[in-house]
Structure 1
Amino acid sequence: MKLLSILLLNFTLVSSVDISCEFTTATWSVIDDIYECNLDSNPSITSPNTVITSVKGDHLLSKNHENVQGFYSNSEHETIFYIPHGLSKFFPHLILIYIKNGKILEIHQKDFEQYPKLRFLSLYQNEIKYLEKYLFKFNTELQYIDFGYNKINQIHPTIFDHLGQLKFLLFDKNRCIDNGEKDKSGLFELIKEVKEKCLPPNFSYFNYLEDLNRKMSNLETKIESLIKIINKKDKNIEFHNK
């Protein structure tokens, strides 16, 4: 009986939604000539576990879901409160997500881990307050991030740990920071400013450095093991040559 109650609770917490797209081509910063879905319906996404179950719309000639690389929404009716799940099942090759003028309250690592090739992310003019630890762990190809005009007051510094290809970073008109950088040469100073102004109150640099040292130690161990394997192979090659 208890198990049945839990299953029913989980079922009720998951909602589904259908979306409709106008398919078109567009050009964005860091991305040229992208085939994208422009959301032309107003889905009600008020649950964090909302799953997209169908996508409607007429493709351009010779195009299909496999060709879609961008998802664009400018929600005039502000009905998107969370990032919907399941979009990758229809569009497995997304490299751009742009959701403007919505009411997105929170975002999590699980919202983006299904998009490992993501290069462009804009959540401009939403209601986001906090950017969590390792938010972009699975999005190492991100080049453009825009969180302008949100309500961000806390940013965990580890969100930058996996963004080696970042070129544009925008935090305009937020609570803890009002700044943006469109030049890669200035990213270091902007990230430094974010870490100075937007740290979560319970964040400990000591624990952060401990974790960093642990990762470095593990990396050194792996490198040493790799060197031993290479040296062993070299010796075997020398032996066979003789």
Structure 2
Amino acid sequence: MLSIKMQRSSIFFVLILITSSLRMIFCGTKIDGDFDDTYWYPLDIKVWTWWINGNVEISSKNVEISAKQSEFIKAINFRNNKKIEFLPIKVYKKLPNLNVFQAFNCAVQEVKYENFQNLAELQLVSLASNEISNIPKDTFKDLSNLKHLELRMNNIQTIHELSFQNHINLKFLNIGSNEISYISPTTFENLKELRNISMSDNTLQSLGDEHFKNNKKLERIWLQNNKIHILSPTMFDHLKNLVVANFTGNSCIDRLFEVNEDEFCALKVLGLKEIIKKNCES
């Protein structure tokens, strides 16, 4: 039986809007929240947002929203609530036009396809500061318009090589501060619009030519505080827009590589290449 414990015992079966307060329903139990127009960085958009109150507890894997469908709500925000262990499933049935899905600093243990299925309008997903240990391959497969994915500060050990295969519009990916020791060379191959990637504070040991082969628009790569001891000297040759590559706190290289915009691309890539070749070539 689904379990959501609330501070109040009232049960509602309708969606009630009263001034700025939005009341939604999970399986017949009232959840209070604030309802307002919110500016979302880094998408540069304002969206009608449902902010979930901190008295909500979700301890079941298969909780659904039970309320009248709303096409006007564009963002949902679970925040600073350690009683939220799972995210609702089949959200699209009630909130079909979401642009933003955020669950920050909760206790989410896992994510799965049913949490994000058919939410094709999502542009930002932030699941930072939770307890997620695995990203199944089909979790975000319906999110073809996703631009910003935040998975930092979890317990992620593995990311399936097909987890990002449908994200052709993704520009920012943060999987930093996890427990990732290996990334498949094909994991990022479809992210042709990727500008920024952070894999800092993991336990990565090596990266090769294939890892960023198709990410020709990359501008910033954050790899500090890993255990990297093998890098390919030619892995950045094709990244003509690269301005930051942070390798501080690694085994074979401990340096922030940063250039000014007026420096020649050939020189900056050559400088990085020589450092890697001297210290990190297998």
TM-score bin, normalised by smaller chain: 0.5 to 0.7
Conserved? CA contact 1:14–1:51, under 8 Å: no
Does residue 1:97 correspond to 2:101, yes or no? yes
Gaps of 5+ in 2: 5-26, 182-192, 207-282
Scaled by the length of structure 1, what TM-score is found? Answer: 0.62
2:75 alignment counterpart: 70
Deviations 1:188-219 (A, max 9, x none): x96xx99987xxxxxxxxxxxxxxxxxxxxxx
Conserved? CA contact 1:157–1:195, under 8 Å: no
- The Cα shift of 1:114 comes to 3.0
Does residue 1:18 correspond to 2:22, yes or no? no
The structure having more radius of gyration, on CA atoms, is 1
1:32 alignment counterpart: 45
Residue in structure 2 matching 1:45, options 40, 47, 58: 58
- The Cα shift of 1:66 comes to 2.3
* Greater RCO, 1 or 2 (C-alpha within 8 Å, sep 6+): 1
Specify the code of the residue in structure 1 equivalent to 2:32: S
Corresponding residue SS for 2:93 = helix
Distance 1:173 1:26, change over 3 A: same
Corresponding residue SS for 1:37 = strand
- The Cα shift of 1:174 comes to 0.5
Corresponding residue SS for 2:47 = strand
Scaled by the length of structure 2, what TM-score is found? Answer: 0.54
Rounded to whole Å, the distance in 1 between the matches of 2:93 and 2:119 is 11
* Identity of matched residues, %: 22
Rounded to whole Å, the distance in 1 between the matches of 2:96 and 2:136 is 25
Distance 1:52 1:185, change over 3 A: closer
2:178 alignment counterpart: 174
Distance 1:194 1:33, change over 3 A: farther
Corresponding residue SS for 2:77 = strand
Gaps of 5+ in 1: 1-11, 56-63, 178-182, 198-242
Distance 1:14 1:27, change over 3 A: same
1:200 alignment counterpart: none
Conserved? CA contact 2:169–2:194, under 8 Å: no
Conserved? CA contact 2:89–2:114, under 8 Å: no
